[in-house]
Chain A
């Protein structure tokens, strides 16, 4: 009995919600089913249009834009990487060239130095020889001069002695006796007079 009444009231509630909530002025307008169908209709319409336009027209464009930008940036990065690699290779090549030329320069310097040293040495030898020859010549000259010097000096001594004696005594003195004295003195004191 009560059960039936309760069920009946439930069914009545379900069918007449409109009237029940309309009577209650302070209730929630959300539960008023008057515009439910309208809201469902317009929701499906607007959301459907939104979904179709977004999925068919707009989102593919945004996705393409993003992909394009990504690939462009990737390409740029790759190009930059390539350029960096080539510049690195060039740098290595450049270093090699510098190293090679440095070695070459060193070799050239060494060769030049050796040549110059050789040249100097040969010239020095020649000069040494010349100097030696000159010295030898001079020595021989000096020797001959030295050899001949005593005789000349003796002669000078004899002449001067006769002249001095002539002046002192006023008489001629025999040349031969003076020269004998000189010779004698020379013989005695040769080392003293002409010693080295």
Chain B
């Protein structure tokens, strides 16, 4: 691998170039890891739901614990009205989690370290949540930008801030995940490079850092998937239960 820590994020074509009209939709390493992550999720959860025994085996337990974990997360943050969106949030959480985790294996590609992927997910969530909000509350959904109990003098300012914060949701959501993944992987690559360049004498310190960072990055990989899912729940909660 090249010494440049950004090389790991390069996307390259696997197989022939596929073009639909003016659009290049070739199969790339990014596509490969999206497919691998999705397949891994489907295989694990298919195995976990096949048999139903009163005492579940390991893979069934894994599937059921994940199910109840996400279900509890949704009901805690968005209430019982968010039940129809359970499948989507579950898929989202699992997809982001598996993409993050597959990225932790050396020489793999991290799908979520690309802003375009996270931005498309975040934009879809943002648009979907906004549509749900307008369907549920009509133009009353705009009351989201007018918090109650605010002095009249401050109201114009608050409304502007609320609108900006609402519109920046997809950006903050996507950049948070993308930047976390990219920074972590870059840092690991940099420390790995130090191990090589300092050699057998001085390489031990960056190596120990690298080991510690791997642990931290696995935590971050889980945490960012969780944060992504829980923020989606919170946005959904705003759309479903208008509190203001």
Q: Does B86 contact A (CB under 8 A)?
A: yes
Q: Does A38 contact B (CB under 8 A)?
A: yes
Known: A29-B10, A58-B42, A65-B52. Contact between A38 and B95, CB under 8 A? Answer: no
Q: Does A156 contact B (CB under 8 A)?
A: no
Q: Does B194 contact A (CB under 8 A)?
A: no
B: which residues have CB within 8 A of A? Answer: 4, 6-7, 9-11, 13, 23-28, 30-31, 34-35, 37-38, 41-42, 45-46, 48-49, 52, 54, 60, 63-64, 67-68, 86-88, 90-91, 94-95, 111, 113-117, 120-121, 178, 182
A118 to chain B, nearest CB (A): 70
Which single residue of chain A is at the shortest CB-CB distance from B96?
A47
Q: Does A109 contact B (CB under 8 A)?
A: no
Interface of A is mostly: helix
Q: Do the beta carbons of B38 and A30 come within 8 Å of each other?
A: no
Q: Does A171 contact B (CB under 8 A)?
A: no
A74 to chain B, nearest CB (A): 12
B225 to chain A, nearest CB (A): 14
Q: Do the beta carbons of B114 and A30 come within 8 Å of each other?
A: yes
Q: Which residues of B contact A55 (CB under 8 A)?
A: 87-88, 91
Query: How far, in whole Å, are A28 and B24 apart by their CA atoms in the complex?
Result: 20
| Complex A-B: 19 CB contacts under 8 Å | A26-B6, A30-B9, A30-B113, A30-B178, A32-B11, A33-B116, A34-B24, A35-B11, A37-B25, A38-B26, A42-B34, A46-B37, A50-B38, A53-B42, A54-B94, A55-B91, A62-B67, A65-B52, A66-B68
A154 to chain B, nearest CB (A): 121
Known: A39-B116, A49-B38. Contact between A62 and B49, CB under 8 A? Answer: yes
Query: How far, in whole Å, are A68 and B49 apart by their CA atoms in the complex?
Result: 13
Known: A58-B45, A62-B63. Contact between A42 and B27, CB under 8 A? Answer: yes
Which A residues from 64 to 85 make CB contacts under 8 A with B?
Answer: 64-66, 68-69, 72-73
Query: How far, in whole Å, are A46 and B42 apart by their CA atoms in the complex?
Result: 11
Q: Do the beta carbons of A46 and B38 come within 8 Å of each other?
A: yes
Indicate which residue in A34, A50, A66 contacts B91 across the interface (CB closer than 8 Å). A50
Q: Do the beta carbons of A62 and B87 come within 8 Å of each other?
A: no
Query: How far, in whole Å, are A54 and B93 apart by their CA atoms in the complex?
Result: 12
Query: How far, in whole Å, are A158 and B129 apart by their CA atoms in the complex?
Result: 157
Q: Does A20 contact B (CB under 8 A)?
A: no
B185 to chain A, nearest CB (A): 11
B84 to chain A, nearest CB (A): 10
Q: Does A36 contact B (CB under 8 A)?
A: yes
Which single residue of chain B is at the shortest CB-CB distance from A68?
B52
Query: How far, in whole Å, are A54 and B45 apart by their CA atoms in the complex?
Result: 8
Q: Do the beta carbons of B64 and A39 come within 8 Å of each other?
A: no
Q: Do the beta carbons of B116 and A30 come within 8 Å of each other?
A: yes
Q: Which residues of A contact B117 (CB under 8 A)?
A: 39, 43
B126 to chain A, nearest CB (A): 16
Q: Which residues of B contact A47 (CB under 8 A)?
A: 34, 38, 91, 95, 121
Q: Do the beta carbons of B178 and A40 come within 8 Å of each other?
A: no
Which single residue of chain A is at the shortest CB-CB distance from B67?
A62
Q: Which residues of B contact A194 (CB under 8 A)?
A: none
Which single residue of chain A is at the shortest CB-CB distance from B52?
A65
Query: How far, in whole Å, are A62 and B46 apart by their CA atoms in the complex?
Result: 9
Q: Which residues of A contact B24 (CB under 8 A)?
A: 34-35, 37-38
Which single residue of chain B is at the shortest CB-CB distance from A41?
B25
Q: Do the beta carbons of A59 and B90 come within 8 Å of each other?
A: yes
A37 to chain B, nearest CB (A): 5
